[in-house]
């Protein structure tokens, strides 16, 4: 059953490569489960033309080790681009300019800092995609997509989203089927954007409950309200940039 899904995704990826007339596929490898599954899928789709990209950005060493384990386990070609200094330079320059105008918003600092990391990763992936003539493959699953739990034009800025119809539970099942390292499968999902961040703490609900909701199963009212609110507020991330009508003036 899971093998049939793997085969279908792999075939779809190959078709997309052919349609786009490119040479292969790449993905950012964080050490988390979603990118581990995608790295395996693109390696199956394009054995000689796939690339995993490790992009530490003030990341903790265990994430880097996990990312390397993923690369080793699937045997995919890889490159590491450390974005720590780039991020530091860019964020501190922006902060300095805003402080001099007395418009720096401390309350938004953590989020702004975190989203910049995601967007630097996106820029790095597209620089590599141009170099290799590859497409950028995203890792969003159905739960993240529905709730908008991604950075617009950051990790959401990709060419293909092969896992977008699969719940987090189904992605875990796929990871087990693909025999990914147990420590990758078992660890708590985290965007790794700040110390101690976990997806479930930040969202205020759990992937298990979001998955149930997506499958049409009953969930507590409180969770449904949270999920539907996240969904409504993130509608803009699932659409093209809003354009005005042609004004007849
Ligand atoms: N109604 C609207 N119509 C059009 N655009 C609208 C808008 N409302 C906000 N915006 C724009 O969207 C921006 C807010 O969206 P965005 O920049 O995405 O930022 P936002 O949704 O506030 O934050 C991203 C969230 O995704 C999480 N994340 C990010 C990256 C990876 C992962 C992970 O799981 O690995 C998770 C992160 O922890 C955080 O909770 C605003 O600054 C504004 O520019
Ligand atoms: N340090 C990193 N190096 C390379 N890519 C990264 C890094 N951090 C995040 N990414 C990219 O951003 C994506 C979004 O992160 P997200 O946390 O949702 O997925 P994940 O880490 O693969 O899985 P999990 O949800 O289990 O943490 C990752 O899948 C990966 O493609
Ligand atoms: Mg992660």
Is residue 241 in some structural domain? Answer: no
Structure tokens at 241: 């940039």
| SS3 (DSSP) at 215 | coil
Phi and psi at 207, nearest 5°, equal: -60, -35
Q: Is residue 159 annotated as involved in ligand binding?
A: yes
Is residue 228 in some structural domain? Answer: no
Structure tokens at 101: 């105008």
Burial (CB < 10 A; 0-12, 13-18, 19+), residue 199, is: buried
Among 115, 199, 206, 238, which residue has the most ligand 1 atoms within 8 Å of its CB, making it the best to mutate? 115
Crossing angle of helices 33-45 and 61-74, rounded to 10°: 30
Query: How many H helices and E strands in the chain?
Result: 11, 4
Cβ neighbours of residue 182 closer than 8 Å, sequence gap 6 or more: none
Provide the number of structural domains found in the chain. Answer: 1
Domain with 73 in it? 2-199
Among 149, 116, 155, 150, which Cα is nearest to 136's? 155
User: What's the pTM value of the predicted model, to 2 decimals?
Assistant: 0.97
How would DSSP label each residue in 137-206?
A: BP---HHHHHHT-S-TTTTT--SB-TTTTS-HHHHHHHHHHTT--HHHHHSPP---SSTT--HHHHHTS-
- What spacing in Å lies between the alpha carbon of 242 and ligand 1's midpoint? 16
Cβ neighbours of residue 85 closer than 8 Å, sequence gap 6 or more: none
Distance CA 114, CA 112 (A): 5
Q: pLDDT (tens digit, 0 to 9) for every residue of the chain, 249 residues total?
A: 899 999 999 999 999 999 999 999 999 999 999 999 999 999 999 999 999 999 999 988 899 999 999 999 999 999 999 999 999 999 999 999 999 999 999 999 999 999 999 999 999 999 999 999 999 999 999 999 999 999 999 999 999 999 999 999 999 999 999 999 999 999 999 988 888 889 999 999 999 999 999 999 999 999 999 999 999 999 999 999 999 999 999
Is residue 243 in some structural domain? Answer: no
Is residue 45 in some structural domain? Answer: yes
Is residue 208 in some structural domain? Answer: no
Distance CA 197, CA 187 (A): 13
Is residue 235 in some structural domain? Answer: no
CATH number of 152's domain: 3.40.50.620
Nearest CA to ligand 1 atom 1: 236
- What spacing in Å lies between the alpha carbon of 148 and ligand 1's midpoint? 7
Distance CA 119, CA 155 (A): 7
Is residue 57 in some structural domain? Answer: yes
**Ligand nearest, relative to CA of residue 57:** 2
Is residue 242 in some structural domain? Answer: no
Closest ligand 1 atom to residue 118 Cα is: 30
């Amino acid at each position: 059953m899971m093998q049939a899904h793997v085969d279908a995704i792999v075939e779809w990826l190959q078709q997309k490569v052919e349609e786009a007339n490119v040479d292969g596929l790449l993905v950012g490898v964080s050490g988390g489960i979603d990118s581990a599954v995608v790295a395996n899928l693109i390696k199956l789709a394009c054995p000689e033309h796939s690339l995993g990209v490790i992009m530490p950005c003030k990341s903790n060493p265990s994430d880097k080790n996990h990312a390397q384990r993923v690369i080793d386990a699937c045997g995919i070609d890889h490159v590491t681009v450390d974005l720590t200094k780039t991020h530091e330079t860019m964020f501190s320059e922006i902060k300095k300019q805003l402080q001099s105008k007395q418009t720096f918003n401390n309350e938004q600092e953590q989020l702004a800092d975190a989203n910049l990391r995601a967007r630097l990763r996106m820029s790095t992936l597209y620089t590599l995609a141009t170099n290799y003539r590859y497409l950028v493959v995203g890792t969003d699953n159905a739960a993240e997509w529905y709730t908008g739990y991604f950075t617009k034009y950051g990790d959401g800025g990709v060419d293909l989203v092969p896992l977008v119809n699969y719940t987090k539970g189904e992605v875990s099942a796929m990871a087990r089927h693909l025999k990914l390292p147990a420590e990758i499968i078992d660890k708590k999902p985290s965007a790794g954007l700040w110390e101690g961040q976990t997806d479930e703490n930040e969202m205020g609900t759990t992937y298990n409950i979001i998955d149930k909701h997506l499958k049409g199963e009953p969930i507590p009212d409180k969770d449904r309200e949270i999920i539907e609110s996240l969904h409504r507020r993130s509608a803009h991330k699932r659409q093209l940039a809003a354009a005005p009508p042609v004004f007849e003036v």
